[in-house]
Structure 1
Amino acid sequence: MSQFSDTVKTNGSATQLQPDHLFNKIAAIIGFTYLTSLLSIYMLVNEEVQEPYMDEIFHIQQVRSYCVHNFTYWNPKITTPPGLYFTTWVLFKPVSELIAFAEEDPNRKCPVPLVRFINLLFAVGNVLLMYLISSKQNKYTARMSRIKTLVSAVSLSTTPALFFFNFLFYTDSGSLFFILAMYFMHISDRTWTASLLGLVSLFFRQTNIVWCFFFASYSSLKILQSALERSKKRSRLLSNLISSIPQILLSLGGYLITGLLFGLFLYYNQGIVLGDRSAHQATFHLAQIVYFLFFTCLFAAPWILLINNLRRFILYCYQKSTTVIIISIALFLIIKYQNSPHSYLLADNRHYTFYLWRRILGSEKYFIRFSLIPVCLLTSLSFISLLHRKDNIWKCLFILSICIITIPQELLEFRYFVPAFVIWRLNIASNSSMSLTLELAFNIFINSLTLYMFILRPFKWPNSNELQRFMW
């Protein structure tokens, strides 16, 4: 009997292990394909684009000064903190010393391919964090669900406005990595670690303070909500709220320290921007919400254009016609009077946003420009409805955070929308295999096209011999 029982246990274990074994095989194939693709594109980019390009000129010049231990130099064109340069210098210093031992030339000590490689590491870290966050939030255990979660993470990591900059020396990949790491620790209830990672993220991009605010505020309000729910009698309400304050301070002390340090930075720096302040002044630009919704509709169309979402949208317009009319009028006024382009956007035809602005977002043809109104209505409704697994506190704080990050920006840059888009995409409540397949196929197509244009279709401006390249 014992032998039979052991056999059953053994067979049961084998049965339980088999799905994990299959998942590991599929995960290995997906991982190998993803890494091979990253490395192949990386090598092709460095073969064809050997010199720093666009903003890389400032970023690589800055990191090269660190390579020769000059930490006092600061390029006045750089607007973000030196986190990327310090990280690159720390990680690759031994390699750079081997490459150019006893050399004092920063170009030899920190060659372009070496410093660009840092974002490949961040890219791998980002896709892993996306998978971990999705797995933890959805608590997937079934084999197919785990596979779908992995494919979903890979698909999200190939969002064109994110994927493209994995191969250049920009701050986006590193900034997103620390936001996602903070998010993962937040949902793991490790708030002090999350706040520390949030502090590190500020060394990559100052506006990440908003995501620190988002996670800290949500945790605080959930503690207060719990205190309210415990207060069965109104007489105990005040005492429960007061007693929850030490719990908030204890669990969120790290965020408070981060906020205090950021406040000191603002005071010392006399503002949030480090360099090129005249071109990056805070403004009140409501059209950024329209741009963000357009961005979301563009890269999340397979999720937004689901039949259920379209039905829900039509039903909402019918049942809430007055609300829809008011929102439509507001969008009309924003597009007509707040749709002002930054001088950088109009002056540089190397960015795809230049063409999107001229032909759609800022088109002189009213029909095209105001066709954004139904697009924004559909996207905004889908944006919220796809978050139905999240509570109202989370949704309100998330929307508030998006507004705080986007509205003060005058310059239209799709890169600035990526963190909010990624967090939203990680939380949408849809399990459609068709949407996931279409999203991945669309991302691969757009990435192939944009990388082809960037690498193999350079052009020259009149009266200039320098090669120019199209990019996000």
Structure 2
Amino acid sequence: MGRLTTAVMVSLWAIPVSMLLNRIVPQPYMDEIFHIPQAQQYCQGNFQSWDPMITTPPGLYGLSLAYIASLFPGKWILNLSQSDLCTTPILRSTNVVLAIICSILVRAIVMHLRPGMTEGKATLYAIFVGLYPVHWFFTFLYYTDVASLAAVLAMYLSCLKKNFWFSAMFGAVAVLCRQTNIIWVIFVAANGAISLIGDIIAICKTFWYVKWRVLVAFTPFAFVLAAFGAFVFLNGGIVLGAKEAHVVSPHFSQILYFGLVSAAAAFPLHFSPNHAKPNFFFCFLTVKFFKIVFEFSSIAHPYLLADNRHYTFYIWRRLIQAHWSIKYALIPLYVYSWFSILTTLGKEQKSIWVLSYCISVALVLVPAPLIEFRYFTIPLVLLIIHSPIMSQRNLLLLSFVYAVVNALTMALFLFRPFHWAHEHGTQRFMW
């Protein structure tokens, strides 16, 4: 019953907003101009075609084909081809369905981690996560982010339930949606192994055939890792297309940005008067370290500087770069945010889990030269799920704040278009 309630509640906002967006923005926009035609090529059965500007694998397109096939099982009776059904609105609706699945998965994970939680509060938590503004916004566009999150959550839930083969299968889907998800595959597999450490020690003292059963359980993760390694070797790198614009560069400042965004996204947890404060020694050392990070690893990607359709353009130009001193003035906030995140996680999770999470965040974000809020979504959702459960009052407060932000950003996107003098077409503000 709780799963159905979650699905209905998410559908109540997802379907009307999706219909409104498709009416006002019927044509592919921004990265959709690459993803939608590519998906339509697959719908026509042309699997040899590939747009060299697309940087991610075809996982989303495969999910869309499966979704459309299930949506129209009788299409052959109506004499409809797969390509007739791969319209922009239907392809976008793939992510609407996946967003509903994401919320159901969040609810299931939260209830698994906290068996004593009531179904009502778990449902509220799932709805709250579903309203997270960046995730919510890209629910309505044909981007890879929602599919990527859904696959990672399904992989994690399967691992928690010790269904390791299913977990590895979802991990493969996650990597097919976005290459950097290989880090989350390793994270999930490692934590799955850690959760069995007691069993593993006992097994080491038993017969070989029992040890073999454990090896077999984790073999599928090895298959995923081996396949990914082969892909990187044959492809000559992790990025598929537009390699010159996505060169791996050490960008340690991403960790600082992520810390602040994550703390702000759950501000009742991190910015309350009674919350623990870092001591002077910790602050001094960390501020000095973060200052060095900014000096040698603060990258302004050409896309960030040139594309005024993204909010990051304005944050960079009008806040961080408004004056030379501002980026240093923000360092205490970064310090506090990470101190709060580590303190908060430490209340709920084992040290090994916190360490593996932080390493995974660094491995995902540091190689990315471009500042994108979308890159923060998966680690942020995992952080929220594993942080202490907020009170119902704070969950409702945050859900309201998220809803207001969502209304404003969608209104800007739909009703405040603008035009570039040097390029034809309507431009819109977005995350």
Under TM normalisation by the shorter chain, which class is it?
A: over 0.9
Deviation at 1:250, TM superposition (A): 3.0
- Check the 8 A contact 1:100/1:109 in 2, yes or no: no
Larger Rg: 1
**Match of 1:461?**
420
- Range with greater deviation from structure 2 (382-391 or 203-212): 382-391
Percent same amino acid among aligned pairs? 31
Deviation at 1:458, TM superposition (A): 0.7
**Match of 1:443?**
402
**Match of 1:5?**
none
Deviations 1:267-303 (A, max 9, x none): 2212111111111111111111111112213322222
Residue 249 in structure 1 maps to residue 181 in structure 2: no
Deviation at 1:219, TM superposition (A): 2.8
CA pair 247-118 structure 1, distance change in 2 beyond 3 A = same
**Match of 2:312?**
353
What is the rounded CA distance, in whole Å, between the counterparts of 2:293 and 2:13 in structure 1?
Answer: 41
**Match of 1:112?**
88
CA pair 102-398 structure 1, distance change in 2 beyond 3 A = same
Deviation at 1:261, TM superposition (A): 1.3
Deviation at 1:239, TM superposition (A): 7.0
**Match of 2:343?**
385
Deviation at 1:254, TM superposition (A): 1.4
- Check the 8 A contact 1:223/1:248 in 2, yes or no: no
- Check the 8 A contact 1:182/1:198 in 2, yes or no: yes
**Match of 2:169?**
196
DSSP 3-state at the match of 2:251: coil
- Check the 8 A contact 1:198/1:212 in 2, yes or no: yes
**Match of 2:14?**
38
**One-letter code aligned to 2:187:** F
Deviation at 1:375, TM superposition (A): 1.2
Q: Aligned runs of 1:366-405 on 2, under 5 Å?
A: 366-387=324-345, 388-405=347-364
**One-letter code aligned to 1:385:** T
**One-letter code aligned to 1:130:** V
What is the rounded CA distance, in whole Å, between the counterparts of 2:35 and 2:225 in structure 1?
Answer: 27
Residue 271 in structure 1 maps to residue 228 in structure 2: no
**One-letter code aligned to 1:471:** M
Deviation at 1:96, TM superposition (A): 10
- Check the 8 A contact 1:76/1:275 in 2, yes or no: yes
The structure with the greater share of residues assigned to helix is: 1
What is the rounded CA distance, in whole Å, between the counterparts of 1:105 and 1:137 in structure 2?
Answer: 41
What is the rounded CA distance, in whole Å, between the counterparts of 2:128 and 2:243 in structure 1?
Answer: 36
**Match of 1:4?**
none
What is the rounded CA distance, in whole Å, between the counterparts of 1:283 and 1:170 in structure 2?
Answer: 24
What is the rounded CA distance, in whole Å, between the counterparts of 2:379 and 2:128 in structure 1?
Answer: 16
- Check the 8 A contact 2:7/2:104 in 1, yes or no: no
Residue ranges of structure 2 left out of the alignment (5+ in a row): none
CA pair 383-247 structure 1, distance change in 2 beyond 3 A = farther
Residue ranges of structure 1 left out of the alignment (5+ in a row): 1-23, 232-237
**One-letter code aligned to 2:43:** C
Deviation at 1:176, TM superposition (A): 0.7
RMSD: 2.6
**Match of 2:60?**
84
Q: Aligned runs of 1:304-323 on 2, under 5 Å?
A: 304-309=270-275, 312-313=276-277, 316-317=278-279, 321-323=280-282
What is the rounded CA distance, in whole Å, between the counterparts of 1:279 and 1:101 in structure 2?
Answer: 44
Residue 170 in structure 1 maps to residue 143 in structure 2: yes
**One-letter code aligned to 2:136:** F
TM-score of the pair, normalised by structure 1: 0.84
- Check the 8 A contact 2:105/2:153 in 1, yes or no: yes
**Match of 1:148?**
121
**One-letter code aligned to 1:67:** C
**One-letter code aligned to 2:216:** L
Deviation at 1:224, TM superposition (A): 4.6
CA pair 30-423 structure 1, distance change in 2 beyond 3 A = closer
What is the rounded CA distance, in whole Å, between the counterparts of 1:328 and 1:243 in structure 2?
Answer: 53
CA pair 405-100 structure 1, distance change in 2 beyond 3 A = farther
CA pair 370-257 structure 1, distance change in 2 beyond 3 A = same
Q: Aligned runs of 1:194-273 on 2, under 5 Å?
A: 194-224=167-197, 246=212, 248-273=214-239
Deviations 1:63-99 (A, max 9, x none): 1111211111100010111111122123214749949
What is the rounded CA distance, in whole Å, between the counterparts of 1:365 and 1:157 in structure 2?
Answer: 36
**One-letter code aligned to 1:276:** A
Deviation at 1:433, TM superposition (A): 2.6
**Match of 2:42?**
66
- Check the 8 A contact 1:224/1:244 in 2, yes or no: no
What is the rounded CA distance, in whole Å, between the counterparts of 2:393 and 2:306 in structure 1?
Answer: 40
Residue 135 in structure 1 maps to residue 135 in structure 2: no
Deviation at 1:367, TM superposition (A): 4.0
**One-letter code aligned to 2:192:** S
Deviation at 1:218, TM superposition (A): 2.1
Runs of 4+ displaced beyond 3 Å: 26-33, 93-106, 221-228, 242-248
Number of residue pairs the alignment of both structures matches:
428
What is the rounded CA distance, in whole Å, between the counterparts of 2:9 and 2:195 in structure 1?
Answer: 41
DSSP 3-state at the match of 1:202: helix
